[in-house]
Amino acid sequence: MREAFRCGIPSAMLHNTGGVTQTFVTLYRECVTQKKIMKAYENPNMDDLAKLDIVSSELWTRHVGPSTVEMMRRLEERAPEKIRSAYAVVDVLQDNLESIVEKVTACFASGGVGFPELSLGTAEQDIVLLAWHACMVFDIAARQFRLIGDILYYLSLCLAVVSGLLSISAAAYKEELKATAFANVNMLLLLLPMTSAFLAAVMGKRRHVQKWAVLHSSSRQIVSHIYIFRTRVLEYDEQSSRSHPEEEGKETAGSGGSGGGVRVDKPSAREVFVERFREVYGFALSNVGEDCLKDDSLLDRPLLSDQEAMAEFKAKLKDFVEDQILQDERDEGKERRETWSLFSCRRCRRRLSMSRRSGG
């Protein structure tokens, strides 16, 4: 059990069994789940040691001491999220079958083996929040570019239609227009195509629709990488990369015949995520331009050390996910259902018409 905790191996501990797991379950509860209570003591190691359930008289009980309590406390301080998600406490007397299955499933689906590197702190959460901030900035800027592009496009289209109608009317009713202000019509026929061409030149120069496409796709790519990284699947699954030791041995073998090759450590999931985020962010900036994302109306980057700013940013992030990310999924699902219902109605009508014909 000590080795499982030291190595960060996901484990399910059975409580009320009278064995070694019961002792570590009580230690886990005192040092992890009830951490606020132990802060009030002057000597928490001895107080926690006195609360352990050691109901056995075997030799392993002699190795349980203050060092065991100190190990648990250090692991909780080093990786609080990992130690709370990778270890599950199963009470064999009180838990039902469904809760046991949920706890064990969540325990072994929490991630790979091992703790994060030392002095990591909240770097993983911080980089995810920064990625969400970039995603929100890209999405806001993309909607602005799309709005401006649509306005210019429809305005140019209206001017083209009006100029076409005026030119046709001037050619068809030339004699009737002479008695009116025909000179004004000629002036409009000169100005409207020039204005339409100017708007088309602005659209081609500013590339609003192209910028919207780049920013929107980059925003959704960042969202995809965030969810893949948080669930530790595909390229971010560290456990799958360690499941083929024979292949790693072939890769690390030297080519000079001595077999003394140098082993190259694979980057962690956090490093891979940072690299992918940099690639997407750099691609967006290279195609759009950094000046386009420095508008004051865009979202300001929150200070990670400011708790109030982070709370406000997380509230905005929750609204953004509900309004933009999840809404897109709902709209796509609604379109699929409408298409399928329309297709089903057509099939029903065909069957009904065929049955009527056959019955007639």
pLDDT digits 0-9 by tens, 233-292 = 888 877 665 555 444 455 444 444 444 444 456 777 888 999 999 999 999 988 888 767
Q: In the structure, what pLDDT confidence band is assigned to residue 121 with cuts at 50, 70 and 90?
A: low
Query: Are the CB atoms for 47 and 27 separated by under 8 Å?
Result: no
Shared domain check, 130 and 255 = yes
Domain annotation covers residue 340 = no
pLDDT, residue 342, reads 54
Domain that holds residue 104: 2-108
Shared domain check, 273 and 137 = yes
Shared domain check, 138 and 40 = no
pLDDT, residue 82, reads 76
How far apart are the C-alpha atoms of 239 and 237, rounded to whole Å? 6
Shared domain check, 157 and 71 = no
> Across all residues in the chain, what is the average pLDDT?
75
Provide the strand spans (E) within the chain: 11-15, 87-91
pLDDT, residue 38, reads 46
Shared domain check, 262 and 182 = yes
Domain annotation covers residue 95 = yes
Query: Are the CB atoms for 115 and 78 separated by under 8 Å?
Result: yes
Shared domain check, 272 and 213 = yes
pLDDT, residue 112, reads 61
Element (H, E) at 7: helix 2-7
Structural domain count, the chain: 2
Query: Are the CB atoms for 77 and 56 separated by under 8 Å?
Result: no
Shared domain check, 146 and 93 = no
Shared domain check, 151 and 267 = yes
Q: What's the whole-model pTM score?
A: 0.61
Shared domain check, 229 and 190 = yes
Domain annotation covers residue 195 = yes
CA dist 115 → 127, 163, 182, 208, 228 (Å): 18, 70, 83, 46, 19
